[in-house]
Structure formats: structure tokens, C-alpha cells
Structure 1
Amino acid sequence: MSREDELISVVVPVYHVETYIERCVESLLQQTYSNLEIILVDDGGDDRCPQICDEYAKKDARIKVIHKKNGGLSDARNAGMRAASGKYLAYIDSDDYIQPDTYEKMIYTLKKENADIAVCNYEAVTDQGQSITEKNQKMDIKDRTYSSQEAISNLCGPNYHYWVTAWNRLYKIKIAREISFPVGKIHEDEFTAHLFYDKAEKIVGISEPLYKYVIRENSIMTKKYSVKNLVYVEAVNNRIEYCMEHGLEEVGQAFLRWMSRYLMNVYDKLDIKDKEVRQTYDKYVEMYLKLYHSIKEKHKLDTETKAATFMLVHTPKLASYISRKILK
């Protein structure tokens, strides 16, 4: 389908995934597009992953290994990105895997449409590779091109998760190098998705779910909601500010409405009677309110956002109930 004269660098952060890493790497080695630079970033784990990475590097010259002190997912991705020498770059999480023709189809489509980023749907699967039907009903990405503003707008749609993840994309390296992931933060993709799309003049979608997203019982994504997840508010607040400053006022206000709903919804998910939890929640509500009032001074806000904000301040428990039972 596509000539293999241009190198794709694939960055794989590796940490405590010895049960999954071989499946991930094998899916890369079996790609029909073989001109790959596979960068395994050992993030300082104390299991067998460092040794497994080194063993793979001995077997295939396309594999490079970076051993580093533990710094988290963002730090590992950034290290791999800095070491990449390809014209294109992709990220893949080390407990996931991809179809054999993933990069062949992505680079072909990206080049055919002269796009800066290609993004595909993904399929949620179990540890054993079985499709999780209820999570794969509303794949959002279509076979078409999207403007930067369209892609950013999709980050607050009902199926936004297909647009926010860093690993179901292929980037031109010049785009990838402009954005670093925030070290020490969870929800790192929420902090960066809009920045990637804003740097791109054109994004091309691929409806086929080329990426296999493995949902593990003990993964970050399946753990019970905790106060640490509230950093998501900071991520979306940053996104709102960015939109308002870059002429995307309508999109920014959509995110503001989204954030008011989110803060309403999570109130009852937290142990709000715990003093530290309540203080942290209140801190993020104040962060939201500061941005809300600064936008309200310059723009007319819709009734839903104003009503949700009023309830957040005066009746947070009722607001949470309404969000979960009525506005879901």
C-alpha cells in the first residue's frame, strides 16, 4: 500500500508490564510496514521488563532501549520522543498492541491526505484479547479529514475519549516535537490533546479500530475514582484558557459547560467528609470559578453553565444528584 522509504519512530514507555510487554513488542515487529524505529523506554521498574527490553534489542536492530530512572509515563514518552529519528512518530502503551497493518494504513492515509496527524478508532479488549462489546458501540472517528478546530471540538463530545488519547495517532515528527507531556501529572493526554491538534493544519481520521486498548483489572484507568483524578480539572481549565486566547471562544465555552457538569458529577464519588479530600475538591472548584468569572466578564454564557455553577457553589450535593440522574 505504501512505500517504506520513510522511518516511523514508535515510542513504548515500559514499566511493570512483564506480563504484557512481549505481546506489545511482537505486534510492532509483525507490522507490514517494517521501516520502524522501536524505542523501548525502561522507566526504572524492578520487574523483568529491563531484561526483556534488552533481549529484544539483541534480536532486532530496529529496537533501541533507553534505561532511565523512574519518572512516570509522561517523562518516559518525552525521553523516547527526544531520541526519535524518524520522519513520523507514534506512541503505544506497553500493555496494548496493534493490528499488523496499523502503521501501513496510517502512513498511507496521512500522506494521501497530506495531513499532519492521523487518528484511528481503537477497540477496547480484555487481557485475553476479547472485545468488550459495551465499550465499542460508539466509535467516533470517521474516514474523513478534520480541521484543527473540529478535532479540538471533538474533545468535549460524547465520545471524546477516541480523540484525547495520544496512542491512537501517527504524527509528523515536527508536530510531535513541539509538545511535551506534563511530568508528574496523571491525565497527561488531557493536558496535551488540544495542543497537538492546534499545531496541525489537517487531521485525517481512520474509522477502522487499528489499536487494541487492553483494559486491565489493576490498571490506572480501572481504579476507583480518587481525589488525585481531580487534576483533570486543571487539564481542562488549561484547555479552556487556550481556546479563549486563540480565537476558539465557542469551543472554550463548550468546555466550560463540560467542566461544570464534571464537577457536579464527581462530588458523590469522593469521600467528601474527609477534610483533605474536601479541601482538594474545593481548591479545584475555586480554580473553575476563577476561570468562569473571567469568561463571564467578556462573554455571554448559556443558562445551563450558569445554573450548574450556582449549584456547585450553593448546593453541591443536589448538583451531583442532578448530574448523575437527570443530565446523564
Structure 2
Amino acid sequence: MKIITFAVPCYNSEAYMEHCIQTLLPGGDDIEIILVDDGSKDSTAKIADDYAAKYPNIIKAIHQENGGHGEAVNTGIKNASGMFFKVIDSDDWVDSQCMLKVVERLKQFYRDNISLDMMICNYVYEHTEDNTNRVISYSNVMPENCVFGWEDVGRFKVSQYILMHSVIYRTELLHQCKLVLPKHTFYVDNLFVYQPLPYVKTMYYMNLDLYRYFIGREDQSVNEKVMIKRIDQQLRVNKLMIDFYCGIGEISNKRLDSYMKNYLSMMMTISSVFLLISGTEENLEKKVELWEYLRSKDERLYFRMRYRLLGTLTNLPGTAGRKITKYVYQLSSKKYKFN
């Protein structure tokens, strides 16, 4: 039995995927690595096949027509045999010693017949341009060394939300919530994290710097210029998150409900900021349309987000207001170095 499946979406990843794989291999027979070749045009497919042939008890290589990051994750979920599931992007990697500790803890939960829906670990921004890093820890938000629920979770900072880099889900839970990510769309990692949350009852936090998140490639999806170029995909994800929250019905746990609202508010802010800094009339109209879309779905939620700090900041009137928003964004980007 596999304790955890690591799905590695790969698209033209020949230059860096082997480093990612090598950091996972120390997990041995307790883990499963699914390399999803998403229609690559370089030697990604061959590298995946070579590793699958060399480590047949650990690695699967799956080849598919190009469907984007979300479809590669979908394929990973469909083919996962591990009790737990984690996505590792092919240009990122894990700390192998931390991974072994995570696997051992998950094995202990299995031996003790303890049901766990979600595990959270720290992740690290690895900035290649200046060879610095920054750890995102949750030690001030979540209790350690115990299974807990949403009522035990504290208040998240703006830079501290649960992301794909930090989360490990129980595989069956992903099937139960019928998670299917859209094809040919970037930024679906937000949907991957967001949609299963109402199904999560039990959590465990390990204060380990497990995931190493590479920042520095010019073609990377979080690069500012790339995000502006792909803003319509960001908007699509944003609207799908609005649809999900507004369609899920009443969330009885107030802590969870507050977290999901705040996460959605952050997504509204991110979309609005990039629409603003693009500077085009078309994108300014798209920003208005996005907020009206939220209003059409839930007017109370619209007013809650629109007239709180982040919503107000991204809707300041006129040229001067847009300059203030851009300035605040630039300061935040410089401080937190998130792209």
C-alpha cells in the first residue's frame, strides 16, 4: 500500500524535472510518483519513461495530449493509489528529510486508525535571482503535534494562506468533493486548494519546511508580465471560486466560512491589482465586470469585500487611486517577493 502519491505535472520540463524527482525518490516504496507528461515537445516524455523503467515500484509515467496544469493534476488524482495526495510542480522540489518525516507521520496515522483529511507543512520561496529564500510558516495559526479542526485554527496573515505548496489532501476526499480542474487554464492551484475545504474535518500541521517553491523564470506563471498576459485565465479561476462559494450553501463552521471568504477576497484583490497595473481601458472594464459578477451572485458578500480594506484599495477612483494601488502592490511585492 502506498502512503502518499506525489503527482508531478510536466510540460517541457527536461531542464529541471530530474532534480524534482531525485528529491522524492528517498521516500522509497512508501510513496508513488506519477509523472504526467502533458504533451511535451522536448525530451520530458523520455525522461519520464526512463525513470519509470528504473523505478517500476515507485514511478508511473503517464502521457497525454496537452491539457494544461489542471488536466495534469486531474490525471494524477485519477491514477493515484496513495492514501494521500500532493502536487509537486516539476520546477520545484522537496526537502527529502522533511518528506521522510511526513511519510512516517502519515504511516503512524494509518497504524493508529486515525482519520486525517488534510496535512499542512511550511513551504519556502526560493529566489534564484538573488539566491535568497523566505519560509512561509503556520506555527502562529495552527496547533502542533495534534489532530485539530477548524475551530482550533487562528487568524491567517495576508501572506500566509494555505496554498498548493503547503497542503496534502486525503486522496479519497478529493474524489468525494468531485474536484475536476478546468483544462488549458493557469492558476487552478487556487481551485485545487479551495474546493475541498468544506469537506475537511480533521487536520494536522507539521512545522517542517517541506516544499521548495522556485521563483525566477521569466516564463513562470507568477511572473508579473506573464500574469497580465494571462489575466483572462486568472479571472476564469476567480469566477469559478465565486461560483463555488456561492453555490456550496451555508457553511456551519464560522472559522472555515471566514477563512473561505478571506481567501476569496484575496483572489479578488490579486485579479483587480493586475487588471489595474496593466493600464488598458479593456482591463479596467474587466475589473468593474468582475466585481459586478460577484455582486450578481451574492450582494451581501460583494459589500463585505468591496468596502473592506483590500476591496477599497483596489477600487480607489480615478488615475490617482490607481497609482496608489500600484504603489502599495509594488511595496508588497518588494517586501514579500511573491513573484
TM superposition shift of 1:278: 3.7
User: Are 1:267 and 1:320, in contact at CA under 8 Å, matched by a contact in 2?
Assistant: no
Aligned position for 2:286? 280
- Does 1:187 pair with 2:187? yes
How far does the alpha carbon of each residue in 1:258-285 deviate from its partner, in whole angstroms, 9 at most, with x for none? 4665566445311323x4x344333213
How far does the alpha carbon of each residue in 1:1-51 deviate from its partner, in whole angstroms, 9 at most, with x for none? xxxx643222111101111011111111123x5322211111001001001
Query: Taking structure 1 as reference, are residues 316 and 284 closer, same or farther at Cα in structure 2, changes over 3 Å only?
Result: farther
Question: Quick one: distance in 1 between partners of 2:154 and 2:180?
Answer: 18
User: Are 1:122 and 1:213, in contact at CA under 8 Å, matched by a contact in 2?
Assistant: yes
Query: Taking structure 1 as reference, are residues 306 and 36 closer, same or farther at Cα in structure 2, changes over 3 Å only?
Result: closer
Question: Quick one: distance in 1 between partners of 2:237 and 2:159?
Answer: 17
SS at match of 1:26: helix
- Residue type of the alignment partner of 1:284: L
Query: Taking structure 1 as reference, are residues 303 and 77 closer, same or farther at Cα in structure 2, changes over 3 Å only?
Result: closer
Relative to the length of structure 2, the TM-score reads: 0.76
- Residue type of the alignment partner of 1:140: Y
Question: Quick one: distance in 1 between partners of 2:310 and 2:39?
Answer: 48
Question: Quick one: distance in 2 between partners of 1:307 and 1:189?
Answer: 22
Query: Where does structure 2 lack aligned partners over 5 or more consecutive residues?
Result: 333-339
TM superposition shift of 1:295: 3.9
How far does the alpha carbon of each residue in 1:173-199 deviate from its partner, in whole angstroms, 9 at most, with x for none? 211323232323322122232322221
Q: Structure 1 residue aligned with 2:278, among 266, 270, 274? A: 270
Q: Structure 1 residue aligned with 2:175, among 166, 174, 177? A: 177
SS at match of 2:125: strand
User: Are 1:240 and 1:255, in contact at CA under 8 Å, matched by a contact in 2?
Assistant: no
Aligned position for 2:116? 115
Percent identity, please: 20
Aligned position for 1:164? 163
Within 5 A, what are the aligned runs for 1:1-328? Answer: 6-31=2-27, 34-61=29-56, 62-110=58-106, 111-112=108-109, 114-126=115-127, 132-133=132-133, 135-136=134-135, 138-141=136-139, 142=142, 144=144, 145-148=147-150, 154=156, 157-161=157-161, 163-165=162-164, 167-178=165-176, 179-218=179-218, 219-224=220-225, 225-226=227-228, 227-228=231-232, 229-238=234-243, 240-241=245-246, 245-247=250-252, 248=254, 250-251=258-259, 254=262, 258=266, 261-262=269-270, 265-273=273-281, 275=282, 277-291=283-297, 293-295=299-301, 301=304, 304-305=307-308, 308=311, 312=315, 315=317, 317-324=319-326
User: Are 1:267 and 1:317, in contact at CA under 8 Å, matched by a contact in 2?
Assistant: no
Question: Quick one: distance in 2 between partners of 1:259 and 1:58?
Answer: 41
Query: Where does structure 1 lack aligned partners over 5 or more consecutive residues?
Result: none
TM superposition shift of 1:251: 4.4
Query: Taking structure 1 as reference, are residues 272 and 28 closer, same or farther at Cα in structure 2, changes over 3 Å only?
Result: same
* More moved, 228-237 vs 183-192: 228-237
User: Are 1:244 and 1:252, in contact at CA under 8 Å, matched by a contact in 2?
Assistant: no
| CA RMSD across the alignment | 3.5
User: Are 1:149 and 1:198, in contact at CA under 8 Å, matched by a contact in 2?
Assistant: no
* More moved, 286-295 vs 199-208: 286-295
Count of aligned residue pairs for this structure pair: 310
Aligned position for 2:335? none
- Residue type of the alignment partner of 2:215: I
User: Are 1:43 and 1:71, in contact at CA under 8 Å, matched by a contact in 2?
Assistant: yes
Relative to the length of structure 1, the TM-score reads: 0.79
TM superposition shift of 1:306: 9.4
Query: Taking structure 1 as reference, are residues 214 and 186 closer, same or farther at Cα in structure 2, changes over 3 Å only?
Result: same
Query: Taking structure 1 as reference, are residues 72 and 46 closer, same or farther at Cα in structure 2, changes over 3 Å only?
Result: same
Query: Taking structure 1 as reference, are residues 280 and 265 closer, same or farther at Cα in structure 2, changes over 3 Å only?
Result: closer
How far does the alpha carbon of each residue in 1:282-328 deviate from its partner, in whole angstroms, 9 at most, with x for none? 321321332452547xxx8489439956983x825444344455796
TM superposition shift of 1:151: 6.4
Question: Quick one: distance in 2 between partners of 1:323 and 1:122?
Answer: 28
